[in-house]
Amino acid sequence: MSADIRTDGIVAGRLDPAALEANFADLHPPLDAHEALVAADRCYFCHDAPCVTACPTGIDIPLFIRQIATGQPDAAARTILSQNILGGMCARVCPTETLCEEACVREAAEGKPVLIGQLQRHATDSLMAKGVHPFARAAETGKSIAVVGAGPAGLAAAHRLSMHGHAVTIYEAKPKGGGLNEYGIAAYKTVDGFAQAELEWLLKIGGISIQHGAALGGEITLETLAEDHDAVLLAMGLAGVNALGLKGADRDWVRNAVDFIAELRQTDDLSKLSVGRRVVVIGGGMTAVDAAVQSKLLGADEVTIVYRRDRDAMPASRYEQDLAASRGVRLVFNAQPIEIKGRKKDRRRIVFAYTERTGKGVRPTGERFTLHADQLLLAIGQTLEGAPDTLAIEGGKLRVEGAGRTSLPGVWAAGDCASGGDDLTVTAVAEGRDAAEDIHAALMG
């Protein structure tokens, strides 16, 4: 174990490089050719395929699995990518256990679904490894579209618009494209820089340029975009973070989980990342689980997730909850923070109140407990930032109708920043793709 760098309980180098490499290895190693054939052979190729209905992008799952089973992985990849151009990433991070695999007939009959996600990865990885891009642009239309945000929704829309022959400019606030795929997903789910590799592969379609350091409401405005382009798609995600609203939340041992994950994803040396011996994570979604598990993998002794509702209401799937527990993370339900105390290492603690569900929502019971911690990570949701006040808002997001049409003519929105839909990569891809088709139809009459 290397030496501690900080002296306040939050230190770097708790584990040696070999241990860190092992801890952050691929969560699901890829199937080899034989394993893929065996897995594909379990598919019933259902005529009414409930797995297809459960897939937000509507991939023809029985078809692509049959193509793998008959030795045509490249054809399988094209079947996947025609519906979901980010099929490689979705195969890694999509909650298949609550979508296609949960709907699988094998799951209902045997409690063991076909490995749809891993088969999808096998096919898409096989094609990408060849450097092949299976789609071509249509003839130039002379139309120009601005896409704000290079995350899943923006990239899916840009690719589909480019296929139709439009010129696309993506305006991205951060130094790298990829959005959540690059900055917000646990490192053990997408290893070896896959997000950037997939982005570079997607851009091989041509007709797409990315301008970095361009944030809506900062370097660019909706008015200028509308003047310079024939249509605008807003796909900037949710860049803000909800405030905890408690005294002490501004202390230096308290930080947002999204920042913690982004720092981890962008480092070249995991041994330089600081983590506490005792870490508490407040929240119940995927961000909370990813932050908690990675804290444990970095060498934290004790990691606890505290969620204010019960287990069944937790946004993170049961699979993700069990994954966290298998890594040594403790999960506490029906509790909410009411006070953050202490600045010095040995005095830091969070006071919680147990909660109960009532007809009017969650309320504290009056019973309390205290957790001592070196580090507190907040994963209590993200918010919309930079949205022009000329656009209608619904539920804290841009209000859309149909395939992403906002309250302003010529402006669409898709992904996490738009109302409706789940905050999932695969849902964002579907919304971006569908908005692109609607933009194409509107521009071409």
| Helix/strand/coil for 104 | coil
Neighbours of 98 (CB within 10 A): 16
Q: Is there a contact between 57 and 429 (Cβ–Cβ < 8 Å)? A: yes
Neighbours of 384 (CB within 10 A): 20
- The token pair at 248 is 């002490």
Q: How far apart are CA 252 and CA 248, in angstroms?
A: 9
> The pTM is what?
0.94
Mean pLDDT score, 212-234: 95
State residue 417's pLDDT score.
Answer: 96
Using one digit for the tens of pLDDT, what is the confidence trace for 361-379? Answer: 899 999 999 999 999 999 9
pLDDT score of 347 more than 90: no
State residue 66's pLDDT score.
Answer: 97
CA proximity to 282, closest of 249, 317, 238: 249
State residue 3's pLDDT score.
Answer: 39
- The token pair at 82 is 């025609």
- The token pair at 79 is 């079947």
Name which residue leads in pLDDT, 219 or 27.
27
State residue 433's pLDDT score.
Answer: 98
Using one digit for the tens of pLDDT, what is the confidence trace for 42-52? Answer: 999 998 999 99
pLDDT score of 1 more than 50: no
Average pLDDT of the residues of the chain = 95
- Place 7 in a pLDDT band, splitting at 50, 70 and 90: very low
Using one digit for the tens of pLDDT, what is the confidence trace for 142-170? Answer: 999 999 999 999 999 999 999 999 999 99
Helix (H) or strand (E) holding 355: strand 349-358
- The token pair at 44 is 């019933």
pLDDT score of 4 more than 50: no
Cα radius of gyration rounded to whole Å, the chain: 23
Our measurement of the distance from residue 72's CA atom to the centroid of its chain's CA atoms, rounded to an integer in Å, reads 29
Q: How far apart are CA 294 and CA 375, in angstroms?
A: 13
pLDDT score of 344 more than 90: no
Q: Is there a contact between 361 and 336 (Cβ–Cβ < 8 Å)? A: no
- Place 246 in a pLDDT band, splitting at 50, 70 and 90: very high
- Place 346 in a pLDDT band, splitting at 50, 70 and 90: confident
| Helix/strand/coil for 340 | strand
State residue 8's pLDDT score.
Answer: 61
Mean pLDDT score, 24-41: 96
CATH numbers and ranges of domains, the chain: 10-25+241-378 (3.50.50.60), 33-129 (1.10.1060.10), 144-238+388-444 (3.50.50.60)
Using one digit for the tens of pLDDT, what is the confidence trace for 273-304? Answer: 999 999 999 999 999 999 999 999 999 999 99
247, burial (CB in 10 Å: exposed 0-12, middle 13-18, buried 19+): exposed
The pLDDT > 90 percentage for the chain reads 93
- Place 440 in a pLDDT band, splitting at 50, 70 and 90: very high
State residue 231's pLDDT score.
Answer: 98
- Place 9 in a pLDDT band, splitting at 50, 70 and 90: confident
Angle CA(187)–CA(31)–CA(326) in degrees, nearest 5? 50
Spell out the alpha helix ranges (H) of 361-424.
none
Return the beta strands (E) in 213-306 as ranges: 231-234, 240-241, 254-256, 274-276, 278-282, 302-306
Q: How far apart are CA 348 and CA 339, in angstroms?
A: 11
Amino acid at 312: D
